[in-house]
Amino acid sequence: MKYNYGLVTIATVNFENLVNFYIQFLAQEPDKFIPKVYAEFQIANLCLGIFKPKKNNEAEFTTNNKNSLSLCLEVNDLKSAIAQITKLGYPPPGEIQTASHGQEIYVYDPDGNRLILHQSH
């Protein structure tokens, strides 16, 4: 089996709010955009898609349970990234952690999806 392409997608019933959050947080407009349905951002080698599920599928995507998946974004300046997401109204609930690969912090988007912002040593 050969795979041609991969992307990470986030399903949301709060489409406009979540797309606006990522426009502001990533400081870029979506590369592809279908109003009220789909937005796609190219972030370095990652493609991030945000979509609104069809009405009959919404229950599958709306959950308040913690998710084990995280969107990890490597940044050049962790403190600036924290300041930017805090300015958007979503401050990190915890402190910067030191990991074997550098420093990181967990933050959450408006839907509660975990983002791990990471700065290498």
In a domain, 3, yes or no: no
**Contact between residue 73 and residue 117 where contact means Cβ atoms under 8 Å apart:** yes
Mean pLDDT, rounded, for 23-45: 96
Least confident window among 30-34, 44-48, 82-86, 92-96 = 44-48
Least confident window among 10-14, 17-21, 68-72, 109-113 = 68-72
Per-residue confidence band for 111, with pLDDT thresholds at 50, 70 and 90: very high
In a domain, 64, yes or no: yes
Rounded Cα gap, residues 27 and 11, in angstroms: 21
In a domain, 99, yes or no: yes
Secondary structure percentages of the chain, helix, strand, coil, to 5: 25, 35, 45
What residue has token string 């084990």? 68
Assess whether pLDDT exceeds 80 at residue 1: no
pLDDT for 118: 94
Count of structural domains within the chain: 1
In a domain, 80, yes or no: yes
> What domain range is 46 assigned to?
8-120
Q: What is the pTM of this model?
A: 0.86
In a domain, 2, yes or no: no
At 14, the amino acid letter reads N
Assess whether pLDDT exceeds 80 at residue 102: yes
Dihedral sign of CA atoms 99, 67, 91, 10 in order: positive
Assess whether pLDDT exceeds 70 at residue 66: no
**Tens digit of each residue's pLDDT (9 = 90 or more) over 76-97:** 999 999 999 999 999 999 999 9
What CATH number corresponds to the domain at position 63? 3.10.180.10
At 113, the amino acid letter reads N
